[in-house]
Amino acid sequence: MSAFPSTRIDAYDWDAIAGDLDREGWAVLPGLLADAECDAVAGMYGPTGAFRSHVHMARHGFGKGEYRYFAYPLPPLVEAARICLYPHVAPIANRWSERMGMAARFPADHASFLARCHEAGQRRPTPLLLEYGEGDYNCLHQDLYGDHVFPLQVAVLLSQPGRDFTGGEFVLTEQRPRMQSRASVVPLGKGDGVLFAVNQRPQRGTRGDYRVTLRHGVSTLRSGRRHTLGIIFHDAA
Ligand SMILES: O=C(O)CCC(=O)C(=O)O
Ligand SMILES: [Fe+2]
């Protein structure tokens, strides 16, 4: 499996994506992976040296289903996607951080950000591959793995809704201060990515920006099998 050209990522309308993120807290990246790339990544799932750990979600109360964290070195396609996406999302992360009155600022390239994680003891790779079967689901959660948190992450759907599985929708909730939560169901096809806030994002209100807290998960699969590639930019302690 070769690394895909960064031109696919560079060609997205990043201003429109930033607008979606500011309004909704998430944006779709259509066709982030080609059909054959999805199959190649999903086909890696299994007890091999490509992964550093294996999690049964039910054992931890995370839901039902399983996932594996990739080991370093990451598969070239996963590595390329993480590196190529980062420079486009770092400016959005910096604007959010500033608007939320947070001190964190993020360097322009992923290698510099990873060096910061590694110096702080967050050295374990976080990209992961998830596998769900009938009846499986992923409870609403946040992927925080230490003090250093990059505020946006990507999940790529590797299976075709309606054909490979039914149910199993990617869902997000936004918890607004002193208000009821808002839910979104993200419409994804095979190969589409969703870019979304890991923890918090700024929301413009009548008296300036306030923070909303996001959680994401997957609704129960009614049938079939579903794979997802998760790309998280910070490493884990
Ligand atoms: O399977 C999904 O769509 C959600 C995966 C997930 O939680 C993640 O990538 O962090
Ligand atoms: Fe997650």
Question: Which residue segment(s) compose the domain that 95 sits in?
Answer: 7-232
Cα(180)–Cα(233) distance, integer angstroms: 30
Does any domain span residue 155? yes
- The interface pTM score, or ipTM, of the predicted complex is 0.99
The predicted structure's pLDDT at residue 3: 67
Does any domain span residue 237? no
143: burial class by Cβ within 10 Å (0-12, 13-18, 19+)?
middle
> Distance between terminal CA atoms of the chain?
29
Residue type, 209: D
Cα(142)–Cα(200) distance, integer angstroms: 10
Please tell me if the CB atom of residue 195 comes closer than 6 angstroms to any atom of ligand 1. no
CATH of the domain at 140: 2.60.120.620
The predicted structure's pLDDT at residue 1: 53
The predicted structure's pLDDT at residue 4: 73
Q: How many domains does the chain have?
A: 1
The predicted structure's pLDDT at residue 6: 87
Does any domain span residue 165? yes
> For residue 229, which atom of ligand 1 is closest to its CA?
9
Please tell me if the CB atom of residue 84 comes closer than 6 angstroms to any atom of ligand 1. no
Does any domain span residue 58? yes
pTM (2 d.p.): 0.97
The predicted structure's pLDDT at residue 219: 98
User: How confident is the prediction along the chain (237 residues), in pLDDT tens digits per residue?
Assistant: 556 768 999 999 999 999 999 999 999 999 999 999 999 999 999 999 999 999 999 999 999 999 999 999 999 999 999 999 999 999 999 999 999 999 999 999 999 999 999 999 999 999 999 999 999 999 999 999 999 999 999 999 999 999 999 999 999 999 998 999 999 999 999 999 999 999 999 999 999 999 999 999 999 999 999 999 999 999 999
Does any domain span residue 169? yes
The predicted structure's pLDDT at residue 2: 58
Does any domain span residue 1? no
Q: Are 218 and 102 in contact (CB under 8 A)?
A: no
Mutate to test the pocket of ligand 1, among 130, 160, 172 (most ligand atoms within 8 A of CB): 130
Does any domain span residue 209? yes
In Å, how far are 10, 28, 104 from 13, measured between CA atoms? 8, 11, 26
Ligand nearest to the CA of 230: 1
Q: Measured at the alpha carbon of residue 49, what is the angle toward residues 56 and 219, in degrees to the nearest 5?
A: 30
Please tell me if the CB atom of residue 230 comes closer than 6 angstroms to any atom of ligand 1. yes
Q: Measured at the alpha carbon of residue 33, what is the angle toward residues 73 and 216, in degrees to the nearest 5?
A: 85
Q: Are 79 and 3 in contact (CB under 8 A)?
A: yes
Does any domain span residue 2? no
Ligand 2 centroid–CA 94 distance in Å is 22
